Amino acid sequence: MTRQRRDPRAERAAATMATAPRLRIDWTHRSGAGEPGASALPAAEIAPRSVTIADPEFLMFVIAEAPEGVLTRHDRQAIGAARLLDGGGAGAVVVLAAGPIAEAGAAGADLTMDLKLAGHDPDGAAMRIADSVRLYRPRHVLFTESEDGGDLARRVASLLDEPLFDRVESLSARRAIRPASAGRSEWHAAPPRLISIAPDMIAPYHGPPHAVGKLDAPEVTRAVPGLVNAGMISIDAACIPLDQAGLVLAAGNGVVDFPMFLRLAQALGATPGASRVVCDAGHLPRAMQVGASGTLLNADCYIALGISGAPQHLQGIGSVEHVVAVNTDLHAAIIARAELAIIADAQAVMRALLARLGAAS
């Protein structure tokens, strides 16, 4: 077999993405152009085929919180935990949620059950789940150990009069481990029926997507007493401590108009943050500082306005799920960290966002 000789000029021409307004060469071939052999496979063969469990030997229930029908990170971890217990594809994972949920198959679910719950009704939800457990007799029922998920798990456990193996940190088909005795010892057991999964301890499912079917929820048999009334309290996002905030809007050296920045944070419902430079200059209080010497965030989304992304600042946003960066410099470190980058002046973007939000309201 003779190898073809390289043609450096042709390779360079293939990697050239643009010549105007300036030359751009992409040697990583991420855009699909370049090596002719790379895209030879038809698209259908590249797309992962979906897994179908036609005749499951047993069922496993995962109780998902899924606010507005979208699985949370913790829900995905619970489904991943259920997939560990499926005995090599013998069992089917049923995801139970208050309403219909999207993208359950990609997360590893085989069936979904719509409990048809409205509003916050933990007693009604627990009774509905306990009824479906009695009806379908799943081998395992997995909950998320969050505030609402843990509450629901304990309500269901008390209704079924069964023990709950809570805050499971390690799980395999043979063994589940949970901490006990003030964290000084741990309990090992074969995975019992009712399990709740500690956050960020068990990896979500990353395999090929599963085909999703539907399972009927049992009929409501009786009304339940309990809570008279429930409603969320509206809290000003600016009052939420930075380490607990879900959406953070942060200002860096590229921001000049700080009153406009704070107005934008209020309009977005975001908690305002700042980089070290801004706090040092005294434009915003020290309590707002994000980074190694400020607050380490746990937010779902972080919007960085005019922040270049010093290593100490990137440490502060290490566990943030999604980062949006606005910066004039294409080569700033924050652009590499961000999933969505806008190469523009922060003032212009802030004005545009405020105009858009003002138009919406």
Partner 1 sequence: MRILVLLSAGRHATSGAPRPVAVELQAIALALALAENQAGSVNGLHAGMVDPSVADALGHGLDAITILRIGAGDDPLPALAAEIMARAPDLVFAGRRGFGGSDSGLLPYRLARACGWPIAADAVSVSLKDEELGVIQFLKRGRRRRLSLTIPAVVTVHEAAPPARNFIYRARLAGKIEEKPGVGDRGHGWRPRFIRTDRDRG
Binding site for partner 1 (CB under 8 A): 120, 122-123, 146-148, 150-151, 154-155, 157-159, 163-164, 166, 179-184, 187, 225-233, 235, 237, 239-241, 244-246, 271, 300
For residues 146 and 63, what is the distance between their CA atoms, to the nearest angstrom? 12
Q: How far is the CB of 70 from partner 1 (least distance, A)?
A: 15
- Backbone phi, then psi, for 206, in 5-degree steps? -120, 5
81 by Cβ neighbours in 10 Å (0-12 / 13-18 / 19+) ranks as buried
The number of beta carbons lying within 10 Å of the beta carbon of residue 198 is: 21
User: Nearer Cβ to partner 1, position 157 or 346?
Assistant: 157
Specify the residue, 163 or 285, whose C-beta has the smaller distance to partner 1: 163
Give, as one character, the DSSP assignment of residue 116: -
d(CA 354, CA 273): 18
Is residue 141 a contact partner of residue 195, using CB atoms and an 8 Å limit? yes
The rounded distance, in Å, linking the Cα atoms of 107 and 78 is: 10
Q: Minimum CB separation from partner 1 for residue 293, in Å?
A: 22
Six-digit token pair at 141?
């029922």
Cα gap 65→76, rounded to integer Å: 10
Query: Between 195 and 326, whose beta carbon lies closer to partner 1?
Result: 195
Least distance to partner 1, CB of residue 140, Å? 17
Quote the least distance from Cβ 273 to partner 1, whole Å: 14
Q: 21 or 231: whose CB is closer to partner 1? A: 231
For partner 1, the closer CB: 19 or 181 = 181
How far, in Å, are 36, 179, 285 from residue 197 at the CA level? 46, 12, 38
The least CB distance from residue 328 to partner 1, in Å, is: 31
Q: CB of residue 281 vs partner 1: minimum separation in angstroms?
A: 27
Nearer to partner 1, 87 or 226 (CB): 226
Q: How far is the CB of 227 from partner 1 (least distance, A)?
A: 6
Shortest distance in whole angstroms from residue 159 CB to partner 1:
7
For partner 1, the closer CB: 99 or 119:
119
Q: How far is the CB of 165 from partner 1 (least distance, A)?
A: 8
Q: Which C-beta is closer to partner 1: that of 99 or that of 163? A: 163
In this structure, are residues 217 and 241 in contact, taking their beta carbons and an 8 Å threshold?
Answer: no
Q: Which is nearer to partner 1, 38 or 230 (CB)?
A: 230
SS3 192: coil
Q: Is-contact 37 67, C-beta < 8 A?
A: no
Q: Does residue 214 contact residue 101 with C-beta atoms inside 8 Å?
A: no
DSSP class of 219: P
On whether the CB atoms of residues 130 and 156 are closer than 8 A, the answer is: yes
Q: Which tokens go with 118?
A: 């409205």
Q: Can you tell me the distance from the alpha carbon of 275 to that of 322, in angstroms, rounded to the nearest whole number?
A: 18
Beta-sheet pairing, 24-25 with 16-18: antiparallel
Helix axes 122-136, 147-160, angle to 10 degrees: 50
Q: At closest approach, how far in Å is the CB of 97 from partner 1? A: 18
Which one, 88 or 231, has the nearer CB to partner 1? 231
